[in-house]
């Protein structure tokens, strides 16, 4: 990973990306992708969050394709 | 914990030994440098540490063209610009930085300006900006801890904006690092202790954090062994030049190790504490080291257990059951800190420093969470975790 700019923002962004991966990837894969899979992330919250994220990605994809 | 892919880079020629300073003219000649400039601070000059360097150069018919001895503890863009102006006025062709972290970082930054041109060092901040080799540059460390002589980074304060500017490039590395025990013989006990603990922390974090690799491991373990064997000897007999050389080499080896595998939470907390409470970096490292290792314990049990061999020697290692070695390593470090406290009152807790209030711990934890080195800590640190480690280190 290369950082161009303020390192402290990159640290926060990495934390956000780790959280995102924990939400959208199956636990078995996410555990390999992030340093530590969040112990307090249970299935209902994970499924709801993942569904919201995938829905937003799909919506943006459709909007972009139409534009 | 071993990475399947890693890179390791250290092209710095290390010249170490009791007559290392006398080799400086030969190294300068080898790079066709005839008009060197010395960059240092007033403390180094007052301690008479420039004399052997100047004498060595004079005996080889090489004149030191200019000496700048006013580098402050926290070097700034203005200082760098002023030194570059003197360098150009005196038509110097090389730089010898003599001192601790600040003098060395200043030397690196001056080398950027005099090689690349211009007066604004801020233009070159960041990683990968420099594209070609700089002027001949030599470093003579006068403390045994920072490892700056083998790291490719410099940090300079921009006074106007009130921010610290990082410069990262392999071109910042000196052509040679000259490690001579004469340069650290007069180091006061508390600085000897704090800087050695800085080197110890570089080595331990490089061995236990997530970017560790087999080559940095080799340097780290050798550095830990040298500090463990020599630090208390030097504290008891400050004029022990063999011991001083061991500590200076340990510092360089730890520097090579951590610049190729990074550091973790001890440094995140230490950087934040240094910025907020203005405590010396080495002292912060010594303060936080055992508490952070305890926090990371279950993630680093295996590598930390291995370090017992280098901290306490083969007899203790063999006599300690494998399941207890990690805890024994932490105990060895606590024992070392107690011994240092007894000899020079090097604080073991934040409260003992007398310069921090308990109310500042939240601010330190907040700032530590944004420090780059936290990404290499083996455990994912939360704000609550950082606060808990600080609370344990408080008293």
Is residue B36 located within the same domain as residue B175? Answer: yes
For residues B30 and B134, state if they share a domain: yes
Angle between helices B325-344 and B214-236 in degrees, nearest 10: 30
Q: Is B375 in Cβ contact with A11 (below 8 Å)?
A: yes
β-bridge mates for residue B16, sequence order: B179
B287 and B174 together in one domain: no
Q: Which of B134, B158, B182 is the C-terminal boundary of a domain?
A: B182
Is residue B154 over pLDDT 70? yes
Residues 6+ apart with CB under 8 A from B357: none
Distance from the A19 Cα atom to the nearest Cα atom in chain B, whole angstroms = 11
> CB-based contact (8 Å) between B210 and chain A?
yes
- Min Cα distance A28 → chain B (Å) is 18
Q: What pLDDT does A3 receive?
A: 72
Same structural domain, B139 and B157: yes
The full 3-state SS of B24-67, as one line of letters, equals HHHHHHHCCCCCEEEECCHHHHHCCCCHHHHHHHHHCCCCCCEE
Residues in B closer than 8 angstroms to A8, CB to CB, are 370-372
Residue A1, pLDDT score: 67
Q: Within this chain, do residues B198 and B325 fall inside the same structural domain, yes or no? A: yes
Residue A16 has a pLDDT of 94
Does residue B8 fall inside a structural domain?
Answer: no
Q: Tell me how many degrees the CA angle B256-B365-A6 measures, rounded to the nearest 5.
A: 60
Of the pLDDT bands very low, low, confident and very high (cuts 50, 70, 90), residue B320 is: very high
Residue B379 contacts A where some CB pair is shorter than 8 Å: yes
Cα separations in angstroms, B47 against B51, B63, B196, B262? 9, 21, 20, 33
B217: CATH: 1.20.1090.10
* pLDDT score, position B159: 83
> Which site among A19, A32, A34, A35 would you substitute to test the B interface, given the most B Cβ atoms closer than 10 Å to its Cβ?
A35
| pLDDT digits (tens), chain A, 67 positions | 677 777 889 899 999 999 999 999 999 999 999 999 998 899 999 999 999 999 999 999 999 999 8
Which residues in chain A are closer than 8 Å to B372, comparing Cβ atoms? 7-8, 10-11
Residues B169 and B226 in one domain: no
Q: Can you give the pLDDT at residue B214?
A: 96
Domain identity same for B223 and B102: no
CA-angle at A30, arms to A24 and A35, nearest 5°: 125
Structural domains counted in chain B? 2
- Whether B115 and B213 map to the same domain: the answer is no
What pLDDT score does B128 carry? 80
Last residue of a domain, one of B165, B182, B199: B182
Last-in-domain residue among B147, B182, B217: B182
| B33 lies in the same domain as B104 | yes
Q: By residue range, what is the domain housing residue B275?
A: 187-394
Distance from CA of B379 to the nearest CA of A (A): 7
pLDDT of residue B161: 80
With CB atoms and an 8 Å threshold, state whether A10 touches B372. Answer: yes
Q: Report if residue B365 sits inside a domain.
A: yes
- Kindly state whether residues B249 and B386 are assigned to the same domain: yes
Residue contact B379–A35, C-beta within 8 A: yes
Is pLDDT above 60 for B170? Answer: yes
Q: Nearest CA to B265 among B392, B132, B108?
A: B392
Least confident of A55-59, B90-94, B147-151, B166-170: B166-170
Q: Which of A2, A12, A35 sits opposite B370 (nearest CB)?
A: A12
Q: Do residues B177 and B204 both lie within one domain?
A: no
Distances B25 to B59, B63, B69, B108 between C-alpha atoms, Å:
9, 10, 20, 20
The whole-number average pLDDT for the span B179-195 is: 95
Cβ distance A11 to B371 less than 8 Å, yes or no, reads: yes
**A20-24, B4-8, B37-41, B286-290 — which is least confidently predicted?**
B4-8
């Amino acid at each position: 990973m290369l950082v161009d700019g303020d390192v402290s923002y990159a640290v926060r962004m990495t934390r956000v990306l780790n959280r995102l991966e924990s939400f959208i990837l199956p636990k078995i894969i996410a555990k390999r992708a992030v340093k530590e899979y969040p112990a307090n992330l249970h299935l209902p919250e994970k499924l709801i969050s993942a569904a919201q994220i995938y829905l937003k990605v799909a919506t943006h994809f459709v909007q972009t394709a139409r534009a | 914990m071993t990475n399947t892919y890693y890179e390791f880079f250290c092209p710095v020629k290390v010249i170490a030994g009791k007559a290392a300073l006398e080799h400086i003219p030969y190294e300068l000649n080898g790079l066709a440098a005839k008009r060197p400039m010395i960059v240092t601070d007033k403390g180094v000059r007052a301690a008479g540490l420039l004399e052997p360097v100047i004498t060595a150069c004079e005996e080889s018919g090489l004149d030191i063209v200019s000496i700048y001895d006013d580098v402050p503890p926290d070097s700034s863009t203005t200082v760098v610009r002023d030194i570059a102006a003197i360098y150009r006025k005196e038509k110097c062709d090389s730089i010898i930085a003599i001192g601790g972290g600040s003098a060395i970082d200043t030397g690196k930054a001056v080398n950027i300006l005099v090689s690349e041109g211009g007066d604004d060092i801020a233009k070159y901040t960041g990683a990968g900006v420099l594209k070609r080799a700089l002027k001949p540059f030599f470093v003579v460390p006068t403390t045994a801890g920072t490892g700056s002589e083998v790291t490719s980074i410099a940090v300079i304060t921009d006074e106007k904006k009130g921010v610290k500017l990082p410069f990262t490039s392999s071109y910042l590395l000196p052509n040679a690092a000259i490690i001579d025990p004469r340069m650290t013989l007069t180091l006061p006990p508390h600085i000897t202790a704090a800087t050695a603990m800085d080197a110890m922390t570089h080595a331990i974090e490089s061995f236990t954090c997530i970017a560790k690799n087999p080559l940095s491991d080799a340097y780290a373990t050798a550095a830990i062994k040298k500090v463990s064997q020599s630090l208390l000897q030097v504290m008891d007999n400050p004029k022990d030049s063999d011991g001083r050389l061991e500590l200076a080499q340990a510092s360089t080896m730890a520097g090579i190790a951590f610049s190729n595998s990074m550091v973790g939470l001890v440094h995140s907390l230490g950087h934040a504490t240094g910025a907020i409470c203005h405590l010396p970096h080495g002292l912060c490292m010594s303060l936080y080291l055992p508490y952070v290792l305890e926090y990371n314990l279950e993630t680093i049990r295996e590598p930390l257990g291995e370090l017992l061999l280098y901290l306490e020697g083969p007899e203790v290692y063999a006599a300690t059951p494998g399941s207890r070695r990690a805890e024994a390593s932490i105990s060895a470090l606590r024992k070392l800190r107690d011994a240092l406290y007894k000899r020079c009152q090097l604080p073991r807790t934040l409260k003992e420093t007398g310069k921090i209030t308990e109310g500042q711990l939240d601010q330190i934890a907040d700032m530590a969470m944004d420090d780059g080195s936290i990404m290499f800590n083996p455990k994912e640190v939360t704000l609550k975790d950082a606060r808990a480690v600080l609370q344990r280190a408080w008293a």
